[in-house]
A and B are shown apart, each in its own frame.
Chain A
Amino acid sequence: MSFVEVQDLVKHFRTKYGVVTAVDHVSFGIDKGELVTLLGPSGCGKTTTLRCIAGLERPDSGDVLIEGRPMFGQGFVPPSRRNIGMVFQNYAVWPHMTVAANVAYGLKIARVPRALRMQRVREVLELVGLAGLEERYPAQLSGGQQQRVALARALVRQPKVLLLDEPLSNLDAKLREKMRFEIRRIVKQLGITAVYVTHDQAEAMVLSDRIAVMESGRIVQMGSPKEIYHRPATRFVADFIGTTNILEGRVEQVNKEQGLVSVITEIGRTLCRLPNPIPVPTDTSVCLSVRPEDVEVLTHCSELQTNTYQGRVVERAYLGHLLYLFISVGGTQLRVQCHPRLQVEEGQEVYVYLDPERCVILTS
């Protein structure tokens, strides 16, 4: 059993317009020391899931087990008894207390002796890079510093689980990028189990050991950042994480020995690698996802091989580190990323090659 188990969680909210299912039978596990991100657009239920783990929200059914102990099923365990740390979206740093008092608050409640308390506060402030600001009040701190106070406060009790609810969304872009790495460094250094909620896919990719992508209250895919990016399970995941080309088509033939499927798509016959867990019967309609950087552009081609198509450059944007092209293939526009030194002009005839290994069949 995992360190933290979320089991079949369901949560409804009553709003003016009726009952909304915020979390719809969500289950997943988190191993000890693992950093899992709940990723999805706003309103997908990721924050509600996190708040259920914290005990700030009570699910309608389902349970959360921390170290095997049910948090709801055998009597509600209030947040104050769960030994968790939490970083809130708006920091929630208490404005009437100094930095040191903010951080020491939980230790005081746990009756940690004064000397040890002071030492722990000092250590954790050092860890988050706030040494020397102990006696400041939150109003005297920048947004980034308040963020660090919130992090220090969440870490100081050495909680079993650290919960982070979009902690970086109120910071400016530069700082946000810096803090991603810093949060990962701190969490990994302490070996703490953490759940991180964000709608920013880049943040999730940088931070996570595993990502759970959520859509309308359900987890649609869970896996390592690499898996999520290169083997998206659904059209939603492929679309939400990075950009992609979606080709709709119909399965023509399945070659189990070579592990290849041939699909008739809008642009012609396309071969792709047989996805391992999912069986694709002949003649079912499927979607293919091909990332823009996985499309190869050839200016010359002697003869059209498999997965090579003729097209025309419709639009061309030079971004410095890469060249972005829209290539029309038989009426379908493909987004393509290629090397900035590639010599193509708008309106030029080109050939594109899709590597079967990089064409992913999506379940719709």
Chain B
Amino acid sequence: MSVRQGYEAGAGGRMSRPRLFLWHRAVRSEIVLSGLVWLVILFFIVYPVAFLVLDSFRIANTGQLGFHNYKAFFSDLYYLNTFLRTCLLSGLVLLVTTALSLPLAYILARYKLRGMTFFTALTLLPIVLPAYAGAFAWVVFFGRFGTFNLLLMRWGLISKPLNLLGFPGLVLMQSLHLLPFMVLSLMAAYSSIDPALEEAAEVEGASGIRRFLTITLPLSTPSYFAGAVLVFLWPFTDWLTPLIFGVTDLLPTIAYINIAYHFTDVTRRYMGIVSVVIASLVCVGSFLLLKTWIERKRYTGLSKGTLLGGRTIRPRLAIRIISYLYVVFISMLILIIPVVLALSGFSRRWVLTPLPRYWTLENFQLIFTEAGRLVYNSFRFSGVALLMGVFFGLLMAYLLARTKAPGRAGLEFVNSLMLVFPGVAVGVAFLRAFWYGHGIPLATHWIIMPLALFVRRLPYFLRMAYAAYQQLDPSLEEAAEVAGAGKLRTFMTISIPLLLKGIFVGIIMFFIMAFQEISTAIFLYRGGWETLPIGLYLNWHRGMEFGIASAMAFLMVCVVFILLIIAAKIGGGILKVAWGASGRD
């Protein structure tokens, strides 16, 4: 009876007393689970990142903390220039991407044209292709004595080869790589606008371009900015494409060079660390700005991320022809990547000719005989990372979608931050935090490789698992509980089977992303731990021999492509799958 009295004693008063039942069994287990998740986050995300930030404030000689490094960074003209050039690159890339994607997305989302599904799939392909694969292909094709220049010279259109690499080439390459992210955001926006809104404008007398400018475009601004932020922060995270293009004075590249090659030079090391922290700040900052802005200004069902029908138009013949030409042009640029990689991979000594002369399987033989370890490592590390990812991803998705466990908002926040956090920063942070001397010496064991992949790629899996959970009606689970099933049994017999599709697509995307990861892994690998992307990079770097590197890249593209097709088959279309992968580095 005392229980009951104590219980009633608190009943009459004011509100805000859901705490009364906080310690019931089910709730208690939720708290234990979320505690477990937070422990992992604290140890593998918060701790290394905090370590990195603290490190950037450390004064080299004395070991004390202060702003010395930052002052040195911004007062050194070279570093200041690096920062400004990165901003310039970001701006230009955003401009070019916007100009290319506004019409492209409109054509793909709105026009009822034959073969558009195929072109959509093709335009979105770079989302799953690693950026460095594209960069290699471009160097081969658009390099000083690449196919493009040679052909132009042969046809007598130019006398001297054009320099299509360098800074301008970099702008184009990165824009092309980011195009699908923007197209995807805009397509989602265009097709989630209620057709009635545009029809109403039409009835009021606005037609064509005016309707687009006054109704469609303003309604898609939140989506546009979501895509724009991803585009804008990419030059702050991509260090490899500039390196391949011969541009080194950019933040992430200088950070990589300083830390990977000049670690013993104390000044350069600290400048590298500061660069990483500044790049991360730009990424996180612009992401947070966007988040607050979108929350204030949400017109369409942005958060859903599903693609509804939207409005479709059958355009005039002239517009149809222009649309086709434009779509085919973009598709060609993208198709160059796998085609050139294949040509280069299956040939030897391809120089100074538009097409290779000697065909061979030697490169692939070499990969499998001498570098078989790389393939094995890639699968092993990605596989182990995947196991961890699925376990924690499902746990986190459950906590977020189905419980009132404290700190859920924080979980979601950390997860979305990890989506935009530069891979270089994670790599440096892990290196500093898990090396001997200062931190926990985890980096001496190979487990650090899958751990790093797990930390970097978890957000993609979580996003898909969470989305699947949100689409699952809670009453399906409640019905099981009412029928006598406990929480665990409900999870196993009802939730898991119904979530399977979303989870499976998430698993494949996780694997694709982990398989091609290089930004973090490049800092952590030691002899014998090289993965396929690292091997690819080292082969290019050591001998400037493109054959093997291209063969490796082609191999990766094939693996990714096969996985992507499986994912699309299961997940119900390339668009849904691509959505899950968007927002990556």
Q: In whole angstroms, how far apart are the Cα atoms of A163 and B476 in the complex?
A: 15
- Quick one: given A61-B10, A79-B481, A80-B486, are A19 and B15 in contact (CB under 8 Å)? yes
The complex places the Cα of A81 from the Cα of B485 at a distance, in Å, of: 9
Total contacts A-B at CB 8 Å: 109
Q: Whose C-beta in chain A lies nearest to the C-beta of B13? A: A61
| B7 in contact with A92 (CB, 8 Å) | no
Taking CB as reference atom, which chain B residue is nearest A19? B15
Residues of chain B with a CB closer than 8 A to A73's CB? 3-4, 7-8
What does DSSP make chain B's interface, helix, strand, loop or mixed? helix
B418 to chain A, nearest CB (A): 26
| Known A-B contacts A70-B4, A105-B483; A8 and B25 likewise in contact (beta carbons under 8 Å) | no
Question: Digit string of A78-118 for contact with B (CB within 8 Å is 1, else 0)?
Answer: 11111111101110111110000000011001100000000
Q: Is the CB of B479 within 8 A of A96?
A: no
Q: How far is the CA of A82 from the CA of B473 in the complex (A)?
A: 22
Q: Considering the chains assembled together, what is the distance between the CA atoms of A83 and B483 in angstroms? A: 8
B486 touches A105 (CB 8 A): no
Whether B17 and A105, one on each chain, are in contact in the complex, defined by CB atoms closer than 8 angstroms, is: no
Contact A76 B484 (CB under 8 A): no
Contact partner, B484, options A10, A74, A109, Cβ 8 Å: A109
B-side contacts of A62, CB under 8 Å: 11
> Does A274 reach chain B (CB closer than 8 Å)?
no
A54 within 8 A of B: yes
B20, B475, B486 interface centre (most CB from chain A within 10 Å): B475
The CB with the most chain A CB atoms within 10 A, among B11, B481, B483, is that of B483
Instruction: Note all chain A residues with C-beta closer than 8 A to B485.
Output: 80, 105-106, 109
* Chain B residues within 8 Å of A94, by CB: 476, 479-480, 494, 498
Which interface class (under 10, 10 to 19, 20 to 34, 35 or more) fits B? 20 to 34
- B11 contact set on A, CB distance < 8 A: 8, 10, 60-62
Q: Are A96 and B498 in contact (CB under 8 A)?
A: yes
Would A74 and B15 count as touching, CB distance under 8 A?
A: no
A177 to chain B minimum Cβ distance, whole angstroms, is 24
Q: Does A157 contact B (CB under 8 A)?
A: yes
| Among B24, B473, B482, B498, contact of A75 (Cβ-Cβ < 8 Å) | B24
- Residues of A within 8 Å of B17, CB to CB, are 12, 60-61
Query: B497 to chain A: closest CB distance in Å?
Result: 5
B43 within 8 A of A: no
A21 at the interface (CB under 8 A from B): yes
Cβ contacts under 8 Å, A80 to chain B:
481-486
| A-contact 0/1 string along B475-510, CB 8 Å cutoff | 110111111111001000110011000000000000
A105 vs B476: C-alpha distance when bound (angstroms): 12
**Bound CA span A70–B5, Å:** 13
Are A78 and B481 in touch, CB under 8 angstroms? Answer: yes
Q: Do A72 and B479 have beta carbons less than 8 Å apart?
A: no
Decide if A61 touches B8 in the complex (CB within 8 Å): yes
Q: In the docked arrangement, what's the CA distance between A58 and B156, Å? A: 81
> Is A153 an interface residue when CB atoms closer than 8 A count as contact?
yes
CB distance from B508 to the nearest CB of A (A): 21
- For A304, the chain B residues whose CB sits under 8 A away are none
Q: Are A157 and B8 in contact (CB under 8 A)?
A: no
A241 to B439, CA, bound (A): 71
| Contact among A19, A63, A84 for B16, CB-based, below 8 A | A19
Question: A10 — nearest CB in chain B belongs to which residue?
Answer: B11
Contact A88 B479 (CB under 8 A): yes
Nearest-neighbour CB distance to chain B for A124, whole angstroms, equals: 13
Q: How far is the CB of A98 from chain B (nearest CB, A)?
A: 13
A74 interface neighbour in B3, B12, B480, Cβ under 8 Å: B3
Are B21 and A58 in contact (CB-based, < 8 A)?
yes
Q: For A95, give its contact among B15, B478, B486, B498 (CB under 8 Å).
A: B498
Closest Cβ of chain B to A234, distance in Å, is 25
Smallest beta-carbon distance A44→chain B, Å: 18
**CA gap between A76 and B487 in the complex, in Å:** 14
Min Cβ gap A74→B in Å is 5
Residue of A nearest to B23 (CB): A76
**In the complex, how many angstroms separate the beta carbon of A163 from the nearest chain B beta carbon?**
8
- Write out, one digit per residue, whether chain B residues 1-38 have a CB within 8 A of any chain A CB (1) or not (0): 00110011011100111101100111000000000000
Q: Which residues of A contact B481 (CB under 8 A)?
A: 55-56, 78-80
Question: In the bound complex, what is the Cα–Cα distance between A354 and B16 (angstroms)?
Answer: 50
Q: Verify A79–B478 contact, CB threshold 8 A.
A: yes
* Given contacts A61-B8, A70-B4, A92 and B21 within 8 Å (CB-CB): no
Residues of A within 8 Å of B20, CB to CB, are: 60-61
A88 near B484: Cβ-Cβ < 8 Å: no
Q: Please, which residues of chain A bring their CB within 8 A of the CB of B4?
A: 63, 70, 73-74
How far, in Å, is A43 (CB) from chain B's closest CB? 17
Smallest Cβ-Cβ distance to A83: which chain B residue: B484
Give the docked Cα–Cα distance between A84 and B17 (Å): 27
Residues on B with C-beta less than 8 A from A12 are: 15-18
| Chain B residues in 8 Å Cβ range of A82 | 482
Residues of A within 8 A of B479 (CB): 86, 88, 92-94, 150, 153
B484→A157 contact, CB < 8 A = yes
State whether A89 and B18 are in contact (beta carbons under 8 Å apart), knowing that A84-B482, A94-B498 are contacts in the complex. Answer: no
- B471 CB to closest chain A CB, in angstroms? 12
A162–B475 Cα distance when bound, in Å, is 16
Q: Which of A122-163 contact B (CB under 8 A)?
A: 150, 153-154, 157, 163
Which B residues touch A76, using CB under 8 A?
21, 24-26
Q: Are B475 and A92 in contact (CB under 8 A)?
A: yes
Report Cα–Cα, A150/B480, bound state, in Å: 11
Complex Cα distance, B482 from A63, in Å, reads: 18
B24 engages A58 (CB within 8 Å):
yes
Residue numbers in B under 8 Å from A154 (CB-CB): 482
Contact A109 B489 (CB under 8 A): yes
Q: How far is the CA of A124 from the CA of B176 in the complex (A)?
A: 62
Give every chain B residue within 8 A of A110 (Cβ-Cβ).
484
Q: Do residues B483 and A60 form an inter-chain contact, with CB atoms below 8 A?
A: no
Which of chain B's residues has its CB closest to A58's CB? B21
- The CB with the most chain A CB atoms within 10 A, among B18, B20, B478, B484, is that of B484
Please name all residues of chain A whose beta carbon is closer than 8 Å to the beta carbon of B8 when the two chains form the complex. Answer: 61, 73
In the bound complex, how far is the Cα of B82 from the Cα of A211, in angstroms? 75
Within 8 A of B (CB), among A28-82: 54-56, 58, 60-63, 70, 72-76, 78-82
The interface residues of chain A lying within 8 Å CB-to-CB of B12 are 61
Closest to A163 in B: B482
Q: Is the CB of A90 within 8 A of B473?
A: yes
Of chain A, the residue at the smallest CB distance from B490 is A80
Q: Given the complex of chains A and B, what is the CA–CA distance between A3 and B18 in angstroms?
A: 27
Distance between A194 CB and nearest chain B CB, rounded to angstroms: 14
Question: What residue in chain B is nearest A70 (Cβ atoms)?
Answer: B4
When each residue 143-186 of chain B gets 1 if its CB lies under 8 Å from chain A and 0 otherwise, what string results?
00000000000000000000000000000000000000000000
Q: List 22 A-B contacts (CB under 8 A).
A: A19-B16, A21-B15, A54-B478, A56-B482, A58-B21, A60-B15, A72-B21, A78-B26, A78-B486, A79-B478, A79-B482, A80-B482, A83-B484, A88-B475, A88-B479, A90-B475, A92-B473, A92-B476, A94-B476, A94-B480, A154-B482, A157-B483
Query: 18 other contacts beyond A56-B478, A58-B21, with CB at 8 A cut-off?
Result: A12-B16, A21-B15, A62-B11, A63-B4, A73-B4, A73-B8, A75-B24, A78-B25, A78-B486, A81-B484, A92-B473, A94-B494, A105-B480, A105-B483, A106-B483, A106-B485, A109-B485, A154-B482
User: Which 9 residue pairs spanning A and B have beta carbons closest together?
Assistant: A61-B11, A106-B483, A92-B475, A92-B479, A76-B24, A88-B475, A109-B484, A79-B481, A86-B482
